[in-house]
């Protein structure tokens, strides 16, 4: 499982685009922090990522990496849009295009998370549901 520094490198490689989006290191770390917090809240877990928040090990399963990456990319785009709308930036951005990209990434993150949840339910040793035994009663007499 890669540490935070490797995850940041992967995130940076996703944004080799015409917009030349450049964020400082703190913003990238915050993107992963927010994405991991979302995962933990949705799964009722307490996963960690090595290098994030003082964690020395990574407990996030490898299968959840694409979900974490999509979430972090969405947070980065949200930061860029917030900066665009809240400042007097002269950077010519297609705000509608970025907003569409943000919605796509959020939808993709949620779809990947749903697939992982379904796979976990199907392979669970103790499923979250059980069989009900119908007891034959005497009726309403």
pLDDT in tens, 67-116: 999 999 999 989 888 877 777 766 677 888 889 999 999 999 999 999 99
Domain assignment present for 136: no
- Nearest C-alpha neighbor of 37 from the set 56, 60, 21, 9: 60
For the chain, the domain total comes to 1
Domain assignment present for 134: no
- Nearest C-alpha neighbor of 102 from the set 126, 117, 82: 82
pTM comes to 0.78
Domain assignment present for 65: yes
Domain assignment present for 129: no
CA distance 22 to 43: 31
Domain assignment present for 105: yes
Host H or E run for residue 85: helix 65-86
Residue range(s) defining the domain that contains residue 112: 4-121
């Amino acid at each position: 499982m890669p540490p935070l520094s490797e995850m940041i490198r992967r995130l940076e490689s996703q944004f080799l685009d015409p917009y030349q989006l450049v964020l400082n290191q703190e913003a990238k770390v915050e993107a992963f922090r927010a994405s991991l917090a979302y995962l933990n809240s949705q799964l009722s877990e307490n996963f960690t990522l090595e290098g994030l928040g003082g964690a020395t090990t990574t407990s996030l399963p490898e299968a959840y990496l694409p979900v974490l990456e999509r979430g972090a990319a969405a947070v980065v785009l949200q930061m860029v849009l917030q900066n665009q709308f809240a400042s007097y930036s002269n950077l010519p951005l297609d705000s509608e295009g970025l907003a569409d990209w943000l919605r796509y990434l959020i939808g993709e993150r949620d779809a990947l998370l749903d697939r992982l949840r379904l796979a976990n339910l199907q392979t669970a040793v103790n499923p979250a549901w059980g069989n009900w035994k119908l007891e034959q009663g005497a009726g309403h007499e």
